[in-house]
Structure 1
Amino acid sequence: MRFQVNKLGKKKSDGSFLFRDINILLDEGETLAITGPSGVGKTTLLKCIAELTVFEEGSLYLNEKYIIFIYFL
C-alpha cells in the first residue's frame, strides 16, 4: 500500500499560506514524524490529510488512485 501527498497547501484566514508544497510518500510499514514548534501547522496538516479541514492546493493518492473528498457544510 502506498499513500502520497502532492503539493498540499493550506491558507490562513488572512490569505497567506500556513504551509505550501508539502510532499509525502509513504509505503506500507513506513513511519513519518512531523515535528516543529507550536503554530507551524502540524495539526492542521494532519487534519487536511484526514479530511477534517479543507485545503486549497494539492492532492492525495492511495495506491496511485486519486482520493476525492466530499465536504458537507
Structure 2
Amino acid sequence: MKVINLFTKYFLALLLIQGFIGVVLDSTSFKNAGMNSASRKARFVGKWAMILGAILYILRWVVVS
C-alpha cells in the first residue's frame, strides 16, 4: 500500500487548484474565444480532477487508519 500513501493533503490541494483553474479560468477563456467544445471539456476535466482528488484522499484516510 505504498502508492496510497502518496495521496496526502498536498496532493489534494494540487488537484483542487488544478480543477479550479480548469473549471473557472480555462473554461471561461475558451468560451470567450468561441471554443465552446474546449470549454465544456475543460470544465469536465476540472470537475473530475477535484472529485478524483477528494476520493483518493478519503480512500487514503480510510485505508491508513
TM-score by shorter chain over 0.5? no
Return the TM-score normalized by structure 2: 0.29
The structure whose Rg is larger is 2
Return the TM-score normalized by structure 1: 0.27
Instruction: Identify the structure with the greater strand proportion.
Output: 1
